[in-house]
Structures are given as structure tokens and as C-alpha cells.
Amino acid sequence: MTHHTIAIGHLAQILHGARSRGVDVNHVLERAEVSPALLQSPMARVSQAQFARILRRLRLATRDDFMGLGTRPVPLGAFALACGVAQREPCIGRALRAAFRLYHGLLPDFTARLCVSDGLARIVLDTRAAPGPARWYGERTFLFFTLGVANWLAARRIPILGVDYRNGERSADAHRLFYAPVRYGQPETGLRLQARWLDLPVVQDARSLREFLANAPFDLLVKFQDRTTLTERIRRLLRNDLSGELPSLARISAQLAMTPQTLRRRLREEGQGFQALKDDLRRDAAIEYLGRPELSLVDIAERLGFSECSTFNRAFKKWTGVAPGEYRRSRMRNPQPDAHDTFRQCV
């Protein structure tokens, strides 16, 4: 399976706090096998595995579980402690409240609350800090981690009704992170969901907690993605063989038992077009293949259906703004991960 990639804009935002604390972010990127040159290309993307490595490295570089996104550091190990506290609760609602109580004394910039009324639940962040790039991106990161942990506790994806942002820039990828409509410029920042999901039982134990923390935050990004959307169904069909000519809209429509007009309309509702979907899939697959040192650029071009390597080079540069060789260069310099680079570390 080819995972979605992450826009370089997300990476640039999450580095704000580390920079403000004097961290050499280029060194962090290189240690995570990401070329710092990507930051200069607005169209560049990173794989979800790369993004997860960057988050782990930022924790260590800032000595902060919140990666420099708050006005003061959160002690390393706080995330693990919050997950442990939540894991011992019987249901999702009580687990979230327990974790929020723990963070109340650790995060000076906002307070997380769980509000329930008339069958609707809201996870609300009451902001106390002045707005700024690190602050508002920190709030969004906290919401994403909160939903990811809730999904893990229940061992299933919990659908949400919508996401509200009070401050900050718009993100084209936000709907893909939450699989829900995103509204900007709202009175408060938070998530909305049906209250009945709060009654789901917590099914994790101490052993699965250790495994979860060892794999975090990668599992938060990929494990509970929505595989049922039309976009994901089409990506799976197209991914069967990228080395040849990809199926036409008419052929995919027939495979999905719908008319081409219906397919186009439903893709538009998901914010996607058919040709863009095909380009995105090839781009994401190319980024995945570039992380495999045993594959040459010629091999990758062939696997993606390009007759010549030069054609692949031009397409990749059009997709991301950088040449595939430059994208790969940093990854090849530092191929060995740090064995202690996990979310379990506590000092």
C-alpha cells in the first residue's frame, strides 16, 4: 500500500518552535533522513515515515514532549504517562478526561476540555497564549494526537463530525488528517463528534501500550486512516500496477459500478479530481521508492511507468519542486535509525 505524503508546509510549521529555541533544524532534518533543501520548495512532500522520524528527533532536540510548540517545555515522557493514565480507564470519554487533567498543569498555552450536550461531544481547547505560528500549530497537533490516541484506545477509527480552527493558516491536507470538514476563523478550536463514541470501551493493556509508544507517532498517522472513501478505493485499484498505463476514468467507473459522471461528482465532494488523484499516487509512490536504496532511479522510473529516467526526473520535479536525486541524497547519508528514539523516553 502507498501511504499519502505530507506537504512541506506542515513540516515548516512544526519547526517554528524548535527554531525559536535555537535548535539546528537542518541537523534534525538530516538525522531524520530528510534534505533541508526541501524546505525551499513549497511543493515538496515528505513521507509519513519521514514526518514521524522528524517528530521523534524534535522531541529529543528540544528536550520537550511538545517539540517546542508551547511557551515552555513539556517534560519528556508526559505523552507516555498520559497514554498510560488513559489506558487504565474503562471508556473513551473517561480516558480523555483523565489525560486532559494530566496535561492541565503541563501546558500553559491552552486547556483541553471535553463537553457533552444533546448527543454532541466537543473537544475544546481554551487558548491562553498569544497567537503565533508555533502556538496555533501546537493546538492543531494536540487535537490530532488526541484523536489518534482515542482511536488507539478503542482499536478503531472514531469518526468525527468536523474540526474548528480559531487561528492560523488554511491547510489543504487538513481534511485528509481528520477525514472531516474543517472550518477556519471559528470562535474556538476543537473537534466535534457524536457523544455515543465516548462510551466505546478502552481495549488496550500495558503490553499494547508499550508497543504503541515504540511505534509512535507513525501509527498515529497511518493506522486508523479512513479506507472507505472513494479516493482511497480508487488509489487501491490504481496501485495494483503503476508500471503500465493507468486505467481510464471509464474503466475505474465500471469497476466501481457507477457512471463516470457519478464518480467525478463524488470525487469533487472529497476535494479530488481523477487526474490529480493519479498524479498524487505516482508522486507518493515515487517518494516511497526513493526511500529504498536498493532501487536505482532507473528502477523507480520503470516501476512508475516512465519509459525514460529523464521523463521521470521532470515529472518528479513538477510534482515536488526538487529533482529525485536531491530528494534522495540526505536519506542515503544517514540510513540508521536511533534505537532509543521513541516516545517512551522519560527523564
- Using alpha carbons, select from 301, 285, 291 the residue that is nearest to residue 328: 291
Q: Does 286 have pLDDT greater than 80?
A: yes
Q: Retrieve residue 226's grid coordinates.
A: 479512513
Q: Does 100 have pLDDT greater than 80?
A: yes
Q: Would you give the DSSP letter of residue 91?
A: B
Q: Provide the mean pLDDT of the chain.
A: 88
Q: Does 275 have pLDDT greater than 70?
A: yes
pLDDT for 336: 47
pLDDT for 335: 47
> Could you give all domains of the chain from N- to C-terminal order, each with its CATH number?
76-222 (no CATH), 230-322 (1.10.10.60)
Q: How confident is the model at residue 222 (pLDDT cuts 50, 70, 90)?
A: confident
pLDDT for 221: 75
Q: Does 2 have pLDDT greater than 80?
A: no
The answer to whether the CB of 304 falls within 8 A of the CB of 243 is: yes
162-164 and 189-194: which strand pairing? antiparallel
Q: pTM of the prediction?
A: 0.83
pLDDT tens readout for residues 146-165: 999 999 999 999 999 999 99
Q: Retrieve residue 234's grid coordinates.
A: 480508487
Residue 114 neighbours by CB under 8 Å, 6+ apart: 93, 96, 97, 100, 121, 122, 123, 124, 198
What is the DSSP code string of 216-259?
A: TTHHHHHTT----SHHHHHHHHHHT--SSPPPPHHHHHHHTTS-
